[in-house]
Amino acid sequence: MFQTRFRSLPKLFGVYRRNNYSTRSTVIQLLNNIGSKREVEQYLKYFTSVSQQQFAVIKVGGAIITQKLPELASCLAFLYHVGLYPIVLHGTGPQINELLENEGVEPQYEDGIRITDEKTMSVVRKCFLEQNLKLVTALEKMGVRARPVTAGVFSADYLNKDKYKLVGNISSVNKAPIEASIQAGALPILTSLAETASGQILNVNADVAAGELARVFEPLKIVYLNEKGGIINGITGEKISIINLDEEYEDLLKESWVKYGTKLKIKEIRDLLMHLPRSSSVAIINVDDLQKELFTDSGAGTLIRR
Ligand code: X2W
């Protein structure tokens, strides 16, 4: 069944905050190949109808920075040039593993969480800063003002010091550095490092940190960029286009293919969306499909909403 990715059409009186009409028409021309002009224009107006911090939180997996940096940078540049300021948070999991292995250290995980001793922590910090700089530099090359926000956002306590060592459980989010960046006209590019009250830096899973950002900013879109580009039905092999949690959640959890990581992810997303306004939705997409997902009714990845 054809479904619009709008829950309900919002009032379409948004303004293009930063751009003049000619920029707007260039953008619309650019987007003509992925959707009808009307469709794209409606979504642009919808996204610009909320405050700039409330447009989107975009979580970028570390693998994408290695494998698809030009595509990622041009997608984010596009959003920036149409006057949209996503809050971008990236991980660096694969880079940490590679560096640890180069140093002869076997990466250790428990329940998908990295056991982070002192030595691992120095690798974690190095990788976060390197990948952050890589992304910021790629954006700057595309004429985007981007600001590294690598500290001062997440406060945390130890998740379980005995079990995971230097891993944080986020206790609060300081919005100020992110708001200041957006107000200055720069895309905030965050890592998921956190800090205790006494100044100890802690490692936090980037998906978890993105979820905490979403709880605080209540964005219209929470976007997880990954390689699969969505949730795949384990029986048919097809990508699921839309999950309406209110109607489908219970049945979905009973499906034989919904297990392990997929089950956990769906549960976490439901938990997150229960805390957010109904207008918020989660999109899981491949970086190549970001524009299509955001600006067309048919979308490209998996959209999850209540
Ligand atoms: C993650 C943080 C990086 C991350 C780690 O050390 O791998 C914990 O597990 P991706 O690329 O998004 O997986 N932290 C505590 O999440 O990166």
ipTM of the modeled complex? 0.99
Confidence (pLDDT) at 26: 54
Strand intervals (E) in 92-244: 109-110, 113-114, 146-149, 154-158, 168-173, 187-190, 194-195, 201-202, 221-225, 242-244
| Residue 97 alpha carbon, nearest atom of ligand 1 | 7
| Residue 59 alpha carbon, nearest atom of ligand 1 | 12
32 has a pLDDT exceeding 50: yes
- List, for residues 43-79, the tens digit of each pLDDT value: 888 898 888 889 999 999 999 999 999 999 988 998 8
Residue 203 CB–ligand 1 contact under 6 Å? yes
216 has a pLDDT exceeding 70: yes
Give the residue whose CA is nearest to atom 7 of ligand 1.
93
User: Which among 135, 203, 224, 264 is the best mutation to test ligand 1's pocket, defined by most ligand atoms within 8 Å of the CB?
Assistant: 203
pLDDT class of 28 with cuts at 50, 70, 90: low
Cross-strand partners of 157: 169
Query: Model pTM?
Result: 0.90
Distance linking the first and last C-alpha atoms of the chain: 17
What average pLDDT is seen over the chain? 89
Confidence (pLDDT) at 164: 97
Average pLDDT of the segment spanning 244-272 = 91
pLDDT class of 210 with cuts at 50, 70, 90: very high
- List, for residues 88-139, the tens digit of each pLDDT value: 999 999 999 999 999 999 999 998 899 999 999 999 999 999 999 999 999 9
Comparing CA positions, the residue from 156, 219, 148 lying closest to residue 178 is 148
Rounded-to-integer distance, Cα 239 and Cα 301, Å: 7
Confidence (pLDDT) at 31: 66
Give the residue whose CA is nearest to atom 14 of ligand 1.
205
- Cα of 226 vs centre of ligand 1, distance in Å, is 13
Confidence (pLDDT) at 53: 84
Average pLDDT of the segment spanning 237-254 = 94
- Cα of 109 vs centre of ligand 1, distance in Å, is 10
- List, for residues 263-305, the tens digit of each pLDDT value: 888 999 999 999 999 999 999 999 988 888 888 888 889 999 9
- Cα of 282 vs centre of ligand 1, distance in Å, is 20
Confidence (pLDDT) at 51: 86
